[in-house]
Structure 1
Amino acid sequence: MIKINKKIIAAFFLASLTFNTGCNEILDEQPRGIYTPEDFTTERGITQGVTALYRHLRSLYGNGYWLNANMTGTDEATWAQSADGNFRSMDMSNNGIIDNQNFPTGMVWGSVFPYINTANGIIQNGSTAGISESLISEARFFRGFDYFLLVQTYGGVPLDLGSGELKFNIDPKTTSVRNTVPEVYTKAIFPDLVKAIDNLPASPRVIGGVTKTTARLLLAKAYLTYGWWLQNPNNIPTYPETSRIDPDGKTAQWYFQQAYDVAIAGINNPGPYKLQPTFYDLNRGSNDRNMECMLYADHTEASEFYNEGVITASYGDGWSPNNFAAWMLTWNYTNIRSSKKSTSWESTSSMHRAATQSLGRPWTRMAPTIEVIKNTFSDKTNDSRYDGTFVTTYRGNWDKAGITDGTFYNANMLPVHPGDAIFSFLDDDSQLPTYPSANAGQSNIGAGVLPGRADWVTAPSGINRIVYPGIWKIGTYRTDNGSGLGYPNPSLTRPFSALKFSELYFVAAEAAVKGASGSLSARDLINVIRARAGKWVFSVNGNVAKVQDNSAAMIAATPSTITIDYILDERTREYYGEGYRWYDLVRTQTWAQRAAKYSIGGVNYTDHTPVTVTRTIQPFHYLRPIPRGQIDAMEVPADVKAKYQNPGY
């Protein structure tokens, strides 16, 4: 039994679609409280269901706990000072355990099954209701998308929701049987996506709508992932237990080649999609919904109705369907202090919470490790991605809060003005600042000083769980701040990406490393991304135009032989903070190796001595537990329930 309410088959909150003729139109979402099986016999009901499939991306993408599930415990992040058990348990460092009641690991299961059934209804009834195959194939895409998420997360999952495999279920059941991993791929994911590629348009029907290229990217990722699963280089267990033999007799190598070929087809036939000219352009809020972002959970500043969340308020909801992921990686920069006087210390707040991409609402739940700052992003000169990912300079904004003082005094009692650097993270440890020996010092955050500098500073080795570089790339962006601080507390009104055109290059490169052949080598493909990373038009942390092309240096630094480890290094530089990482490490079976230990300071402001932390990641952790709520709701014998759960939980 997958829990589905008969009277609200698709979801608890659905939307209808106004048909439009061009991709310059948008989805017109009209929320409905009740959506019944009878709706799937009408053209209007089915088209409403298609829009619901787009809307359901908001249940995961942009949710901070979903980001936590896919970053904390990997080589990208650990728990931060204000973390609760949802974050500490995900770290795999004996601060809690992942079990069948762990909320973040159950999010996929709880979010997607109602929408799989929505897709089932559209696919089953669409043609008889006069729906075009191109629109039905949007549902095929999302069914493949959701099953791909499920199989990567939990292993084999049910294809039968109560009325037969891949059938529209209107009759809640109290039993459930999990299919095997090969069955999920070969019966659901691959056929759906192949047919979607055949029938989807080259250009999106509506802004953000799925296309042939979108489906190619998803199919290439699925082929690549299944190839790894068949190969199983590190003997990671699967469940339900089954031999790692493809039902059609195809080898892992065949799937790697298919992944390469499909990804290359997407690169060569991009439709409207393309790489943005720089990493900064890709991620700046004023350029959201650019043509590198192929699929996203959309939000808007224009309307609370269409945003599904408050826009102009002193509060915000940290839950789906809101976008609040950036809060988790944002520390409480508002605790930074300067002085009102130059002759004696008179503490005052020089940093105020603001609705800007570098600031936003601080929750201090997740932190990058020291290794991320020092090793992953070691090249901070040629490669623009460190500057375009993190906030490392915090600039005075007291004027935006209505404070009229033109000058405050900061480190070394030197004057600072609005817009000046108040606190900075240094790029490296070549200069180690003098930190306060007790309490938090005049800065109030334990920051250090360097001679002649007016900004407080912390070196990479001094990062801790309470003060660390924040996240810029997915941060708050508003156009209605005026001359003030704006509305930093409501959830973000930016879209949150799920699929990007750039990933076609990574998928093809990884397949090439795994033995696929073609006109472009892994190095050729990776260098397209690295060349772009070397181009600067603006320095986020310098807050100044920076027109510089380091592409040649980036390409020259690429090793002649590309390995899986190198691809994983490049993937984290490209997608840090976007929720890719756990799936990347699980696919390549490198999670335990790459995330085995990390270093970071403690939870107090003055904790600048790195502590090495060891994680315990066992083979069974490569699958998440089936949520306890699912198992408790099944009316089956205890031994059947026990066998339904993934081993180890």
Structure 2
Amino acid sequence: MKKVIVILGILVLSLNSCSSFIEEDNRSFAAAEEYFLTTAGFESLVNTNYSMLKDIYGGDPWLFEAGTDMYSEGRNMEPDGLSRYLNLNPTSQGVDQLYRTCYASIQQANKGLYYANLTAQSPNLSTRIGELKFLRANAYFLLVQTYGGVPIVLESINTAILAFDRNTAEEVYTQILKDLNEALPAVSTGAYTGRVNRRAVQNLLAKVYLTKGYESFGTSADFTTAASLADQVINGQQLNVSFDNVVRPGNEMNAETIFSVQFSAATNATGVATLGNAQGYYFGPYLGPAATGNPYPNRSYTLLPTVYALSLYEKGDRRWEGTFMTEIYSRYYAYYEVVDKTALKITDFYEPSWFTTADRAAWKTANASRYQNAATFRYHDWGTYSSSSNVSADYATIPVRKFDDPTAPYGTATNNRVSTRDFIISRLGETYLVAAEAYLKAGNTVNALARLNEVRRRAGGGTAGVIPVLTSIDINTILDERARELLGEYHRWFDLKRTGTLVTRTVLHNPKITNASVFNGLNGNLKILRPIPQTVLDLNRSTNYPQNPAY
């Protein structure tokens, strides 16, 4: 494999060894190189690697969720290229986000691995090396899914070198699997505490093998391996935490969390509107001005659920009310503050898809006394509050509540990273669905159905039959279930890209994309992979770094 060197722009990011979130605490005031040779210094360096995840997942969601079947533009505009594809090009807004943040993370991991060979021996050293390899593999996995083949950089670079070659996607997958398989025996086998453990490595390995299986260089054995690894993560554990508790604010470290990005009010103290995560900001309607004391959270009114996303939920599916705030109280956050909500006054109600005319009349009769003001109360009929509805009015679309943070300060459109909730990257509900997909692709529909139906059992409150058990399965069945279970959890674009359904499902369900021709790129190539950012190409002096074919 050719030696690969990173560009100056990435290098500048990676050379900033102090994160805004977890500082490399050099109390000795010695040179950093000397500090990292101590046990405390090396631990600080590894902690900084974890903090790099905050920039990868804490900011804008466009590369994860925009331009899919699940969400489309509301009153505020998404980046045009990433959300509608027609004008997608190497200079499009947001195209570089994962390239920048993932390479910064990779270089920080490389730095940690470099000092691991020099630092003082300690009982945790091999464990920390495993953690660093996992973090590097995670960054490369995001890159290869988004951009295809990218440079493999394994050295800790501290000088500006402006030429690098592009590795193939197959080579990147090989490196990812190498890092993860070396991490597996090294990391902790204990319960999840916020650090990478064996279960987290197995879970990422399962997703890597599953995704690789769809590639031209993948094999059927990849699906079999992915299924086996997912079952090792599951290890007989049923989904016994209620969905409402899985997404409850402050309960992110529940028994089903496999790996997450750790946020807290303490680590955000120096930038309360810029150092948290923005997951709660983007999914849902504007509910009031961004001002301290307002009874409603500040939201962007940008990524709104489509009719397809809303119509997936069936009567009895606890995920409907676990995902959406179906009743708006005069004080929005009273939902989390008041145990007995029967006396709370409501301003809005969003009708579910299964309501009949009789259900509507019965609800209005039973709840008339709860209206805060009968003259201004808004009853939103089914079909009137999706992203394709009239979104110019406040409250016009249903709020996504699963990312609410009642303790977060108010932010603004430009300072929206206010949530101090942990960002869950992987949890057991998704692992069951990874297993279902892997078994399906491996030809074992019996096991695929069993894994998927366990997710549905929990969705029905843990009672079999509350929502129907499925008796047949295909990739669309799995994508529908992933949509119900994982709405807004930064998986959707990768799901559609992986399964080869990005064009068909987006055109079918996204009201802003009605023609597949928007995906047409240069020379008959489709805009599936994101373009390599133009800033990367401009700084690179190598002649062996081609742009992706569609651009």
TM-score of the superposed pair, with normalisation by structure 1: 0.71
Give the letter for the 2:81 counterpart: S
Q: Which has the higher helix share?
A: 2
Instruction: Output one character per residue of 1:398-424: Cα deviation in whole Å (capped at 9) or x when no partner.
Output: 999xxxxxxxxxxxxxxxx98222111
The residue that corresponds to 1:369 in the other structure is: 306
* In 1, Cα distance between equivalents of 2:113 and 2:203: 21
> How many angstroms does 1:288 deviate by?
2.5
> How many angstroms does 1:310 deviate by?
4.2
Give the letter for the 1:182 counterpart: E
Q: Kindly report which structure 2 residues correspond to 1:44-55, keeping only aligned pairs within 5 A, or say none.
A: 44-55=40-51
The residue that corresponds to 2:338 in the other structure is: none
* In 1, Cα distance between equivalents of 2:437 and 2:424: 21
Give the letter for the 2:288 counterpart: T
The residue that corresponds to 1:256 in the other structure is: 223
Q: Kindly report which structure 2 residues correspond to 1:321-336, keeping only aligned pairs within 5 A, or say none.
A: 321-334=275-288
* In 1, Cα distance between equivalents of 2:463 and 2:279: 31
Instruction: Output one character per residue of 1:219-265: Cα deviation in whole Å (capped at 9) or x when no partner.
Output: 010011001113xxxxxxxxxxxxx3xxxxxx611111111111111
The residue that corresponds to 2:365 in the other structure is: none
> How many angstroms does 1:56 deviate by?
1.0
Q: Which secondary structure does the structure 2 equivalent of 1:367 belong to?
A: strand
The residue that corresponds to 2:459 in the other structure is: 533
Partners of 2:70 and 2:509 within 8 A in 1:
no
Aligned in 2, Cα 1:6/1:113: closer, same or farther, shift over 3 Å?
A: closer
Whether 1:116 aligns to 2:29 is no
Whether 1:551 aligns to 2:515 is no
> How many angstroms does 1:598 deviate by?
3.4
Q: Which secondary structure does the structure 2 equivalent of 1:620 belong to?
A: coil
Q: Which secondary structure does the structure 2 equivalent of 1:497 belong to?
A: strand
Q: Which secondary structure does the structure 2 equivalent of 1:73 belong to?
A: coil
Residue number among 431, 439, 450 corresponding to 1:512 in the alignment? 439
> How many angstroms does 1:31 deviate by?
9.0
Q: How large is the RMSD of aligned CA atoms in angstroms?
A: 3.4
* In 2, Cα distance between equivalents of 1:34 and 1:322: 30
Aligned in 2, Cα 1:177/1:331: closer, same or farther, shift over 3 Å?
A: same
Partners of 1:299 and 1:494 within 8 A in 2:
yes
Give the letter for the 2:424 counterpart: S
Give the letter for the 1:158 counterpart: P
Q: Which secondary structure does the structure 1 equivalent of 2:527 belong to?
A: helix
The residue that corresponds to 2:256 in the other structure is: 292
Residue number among 71, 77, 80 corresponding to 1:77 in the alignment? 71
Structure number with higher relative contact order (C-alpha < 8 Å, ≥ 6 residues apart):
2
Partners of 2:73 and 2:303 within 8 A in 1:
yes
The residue that corresponds to 1:629 in the other structure is: 535
Q: How many residues align?
A: 503
The residue that corresponds to 2:179 in the other structure is: 192
Q: Which secondary structure does the structure 2 equivalent of 1:523 belong to?
A: helix
Q: Which secondary structure does the structure 2 equivalent of 1:394 belong to?
A: strand
Q: Kindly report which structure 2 residues correspond to 1:449-460, keeping only aligned pairs within 5 A, or say none.
A: 455-460=377-382
> How many angstroms does 1:573 deviate by?
0.7
> How many angstroms does 1:387 deviate by?
1.0
Partners of 1:257 and 1:517 within 8 A in 2:
no
Whether 1:421 aligns to 2:346 is yes
The residue that corresponds to 2:507 in the other structure is: 596
* In 2, Cα distance between equivalents of 1:8 and 1:36: 17
Partners of 1:124 and 1:168 within 8 A in 2:
yes
> How many angstroms does 1:385 deviate by?
0.8
> How many angstroms does 1:53 deviate by?
1.5
Instruction: Output one character per residue of 1:330-354: Cα deviation in whole Å (capped at 9) or x when no partner.
Output: 312339xxxxxxxxxxxxxxxx833
Partners of 2:449 and 2:472 within 8 A in 1:
yes
Q: Which secondary structure does the structure 1 equivalent of 2:424 belong to?
A: strand
Unaligned runs of 5+ in 1: 18-27, 161-165, 231-243, 245-250, 336-351, 401-416, 435-448, 479-485, 536-548, 601-610
* In 1, Cα distance between equivalents of 2:145 and 2:332: 47
Whether 1:101 aligns to 2:129 is no
Instruction: Output one character per residue of 1:404-456: Cα deviation in whole Å (capped at 9) or x when no partner.
Output: xxxxxxxxxxxxx982221112113744999xxxxxxxxxxxxxx9xx99831
Partners of 1:422 and 1:454 within 8 A in 2:
yes
Give the letter for the 2:234 counterpart: I
Partners of 1:425 and 1:459 within 8 A in 2:
yes
Aligned in 2, Cα 1:3/1:503: closer, same or farther, shift over 3 Å?
A: farther
> How many angstroms does 1:286 deviate by?
3.5
Q: Which has the higher strand share?
A: 1
Partners of 1:586 and 1:622 within 8 A in 2:
yes
> How many angstroms does 1:47 deviate by?
2.2
Residue number among 524, 529, 533 corresponding to 2:450 in the alignment? 524
The residue that corresponds to 2:366 in the other structure is: none
Which one has the largest radius of gyration?
1
The residue that corresponds to 1:220 in the other structure is: 206
Q: Which secondary structure does the structure 1 equivalent of 2:403 belong to?
A: coil
Partners of 2:309 and 2:484 within 8 A in 1:
no
> How many angstroms does 1:612 deviate by?
8.5
* In 2, Cα distance between equivalents of 1:571 and 1:58: 24
Whether 1:90 aligns to 2:79 is no
Aligned in 2, Cα 1:217/1:6: closer, same or farther, shift over 3 Å?
A: closer
> How many angstroms does 1:3 deviate by?
2.8
